[in-house]
């Protein structure tokens, strides 16, 4: 598979993904303003359950350590989408195998 | 809906890891058996990357209870249940390993909620209802898929000691809140599916043409 052809053939999909990543810092800021809290967190709070983080990740909480929040969120989104694309392409090709 | 480390008892976490591994194994077996067309490979990658990006958009809902799009129904409708499950598995595993979203011990449980329950429930609802109306089918698939996924999260946490074994509390909290927030999931799902149906109907999964094939392909 030629990389340039791949992008050209699916440029609309790449554009949609890029726009979502571009918007993600705005959503992160807006969620911060209203106090983002998922139902699971409500349930945990209600019953007094506490997290016990044993691993923070390479880019913790969709941010890049040392880069301020909106730019960090954007970069984390870019890296995450690229990694997901590559891994899923790899897995699908591996399952597909050579013979079918 | 991503359970962090510390919420689950270890035996619960292990049971979900085993169940999830079995289902993923079956998915890989089914995909291999049915075969994948060359054209499906880039679509599988793009659907996974798109769902990752869409999950970064947290809907800010005033009042302090929010959520984000999960995407199991979108994966199921475009890729079919088996490849859709694998796509969601990639997204959720990367979120845990790279971004610390969802615990390492809870990964099996989180995959079971979002890559298995959400995907398969959404797929079978879509398949049953799409004969009548594909838009209603996509909406209900997105809505109910996410709600049942959330209920599984409620069951897993509610069976654990940190949640005081209060399954009678965790399941209603997860089910009712995600049942309400799931309407947004349904609306996003129907928008995406309607758009693809109109512009690239050929890429939507068609169960009559082999499990991982799209409408336009021949076996």
Q: What is the pLDDT of residues A9-64, one digit of tens each?
A: 999 999 999 999 999 999 999 888 888 889 999 999 999 999 988 898 999 989 99
Q: How do residues B16-32 score in pLDDT, each as one tens digit?
A: 999 999 999 999 999 99
Question: In chain A, whose CA is at the least distance from the CA of B203?
Answer: A10
Q: Tell me the percentage of chain B whose pLDDT exceeds 90.
A: 85
pLDDT in tens, B45-72: 999 999 999 999 988 887 777 889 999 9
Q: Check: pTM over 0.90? Answer yes or no.
A: yes
pLDDT confidence of residue B67? 83
Return the residue in A77, A80, A86, A90 with the most chain B beta carbons within 10 A, the one to mutate for interface testing: A80
Contact B112, B16 (CB under 8 A): yes
Domain definitions of chain B by residue range? 10-209
Q: Please write the tens of the pLDDT for every residue from B177-208.
A: 999 999 999 999 999 999 999 998 889 998 66
Record: fold of B10-209: Arp2/3 complex 21 kDa subunit ARPC3 (1.10.1760)
Q: List the single residue in A35, A38, A77 with the smallest CB-CB distance to B53.
A: A77
Q: What separation in angstroms does the CA of A20 have from each of A14, A38, A73, A78?
A: 10, 21, 12, 10
Chain A residue numbers touching B174 (CB-CB < 8 A): 39-40, 43
Residues in a beta bridge with B67: B59
Q: What does DSSP assign to residue B8?
A: S
Q: Which of B49, B95, B154 has the CB atom closest to A17's CB atom?
A: B49
List C-alpha distances in Å: B204 to A86, A87, B33, B103: 21, 22, 20, 33
Contact B52, A97 (CB under 8 A): no
Contact in structure between B129 and B140 (CB atoms under 8 Å): yes
């Amino acid at each position: 598979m030629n990389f340039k052809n791949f992008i050209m053939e699916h440029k609309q999909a790449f554009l949609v993904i890029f726009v979502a990543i571009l918007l993600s810092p705005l959503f992160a800021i807006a969620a911060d303003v209203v106090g983002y809290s998922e139902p699971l967190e409500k349930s945990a709070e209600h019953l007094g359950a506490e997290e016990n983080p044993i691993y923070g990740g390479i880019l913790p909480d969709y941010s890049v350590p040392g880069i301020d929040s909106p730019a960090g969120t954007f970069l984390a989104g870019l890296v995450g989408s690229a990694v997901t694309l590559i891994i899923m392409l790899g897995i699908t090709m591996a399952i597909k195998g050579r013979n079918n | 809906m991503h359970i962090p480390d510390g919420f689950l008892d270890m035996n619960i976490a292990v049971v979900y890891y085993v169940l999830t591994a079995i289902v993923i194994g079956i998915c890989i077996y089914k995909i291999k058996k049915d075969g994948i067309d060359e054209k499906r490979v880039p679509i599988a990658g793009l659907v996974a990357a798109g769902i990752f990006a869409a999950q970064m958009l947290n809907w800010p809902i005033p009042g302090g209870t929010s959520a984000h799009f999960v995407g199991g129904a979108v994966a199921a409708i475009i890729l079919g249940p088996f490849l859709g499950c694998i796509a969601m598995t990639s997204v959720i595993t990367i979120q845990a390993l790279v971004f610390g979203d969802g615990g390492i011990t809870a990964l099996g449980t989180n995959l079971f909620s979002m890559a298995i329950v959400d995907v398969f429930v959404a797929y079978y609802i879509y398949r049953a209802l799409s004969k009548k109306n594909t838009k209603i089918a996509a909406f209900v698939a997105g809505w109910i898929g996410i709600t049942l996924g959330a209920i599984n999260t409620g069951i897993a946490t509610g069976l654990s000691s940190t949640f005081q074994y209060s399954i009678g509390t965790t399941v209603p909290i997860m089910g009712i809140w995600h049942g309400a927030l799931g309407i947004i999931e349904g609306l996003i799902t129907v928008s995406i599916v309607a758009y693809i149906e109109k512009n690239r109907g050929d890429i939507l999964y068609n169960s009559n043409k082999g499990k991982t094939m799209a409408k336009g392909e021949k076996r």
